Amino acid sequence: MSLPPYRCSVKPDWIDYNGHMSEAYYVLAFGDATTAAMDALGMDESYRRSSARSLYTVEAHVRYLREASLAEELEITTVIVAAGPKKLHLAHEMRRGAELIATEEVLGLHVDQATGRTVPFPTDILGRIAGHQHGTPDWSGRSITA
């Protein structure tokens, strides 16, 4: 089963001095897609509030492939690259129509907010993680090179 896509449109305050979407708002949209993935996996607002646990991003890698302009509709799809008892590796792809315009890899750790320490995912969340589409896009795992 696939995680549901996240959709948004480019807002006026997302446009920078070059006339296209600023890099900060690519990250914002990817962050909202991560939250949508968390919701689908059972780590929604109710879970976060009742358990005082959440997914903390500890590493992210963004690739800016094409510019996005005001009012364009964007869709972000997410796959689970890897998971462990306390970690989740996600890959996001942002598209404008069929065109891939940006990607982001995220490594998140499941954290107990009271202690600030990582803790295992509950069994039901691990089951949901296992039940969703896993894959490794060809761009995943790249390093920055000059």
10 Å Cβ neighbour count for 73? Answer: 12
CATH assignment, 6-131: 3.10.129.10
What per-residue confidence (pLDDT) applies to 77? 97
Domain-by-domain residue ranges, the chain?
6-131
Collapse the DSSP code of 136 into the 3-class scheme (helix H, G, I; strand E, B; otherwise coil) and give the result: coil
Query: What distance in Å separates the CA atoms of residue 53 and residue 129, rounded to the nearest whole number?
Result: 16
Q: What is the pLDDT of residues 29-87, one digit of tens each?
A: 999 999 999 999 999 999 999 999 999 999 999 999 999 999 999 999 999 999 999 99
pTM: 0.95
What's the pLDDT tens digit per position in 12-32?
A: 999 999 999 999 999 999 999
Q: 109 forms bridges with which residues in the sheet? A: 56, 87
CA dihedral 78, 81, 82, 88 (to 10 degrees): -30
Task: State pLDDT tens for residues 3-14.
Answer: 999 999 999 999
d(CA 68, CA 15): 9
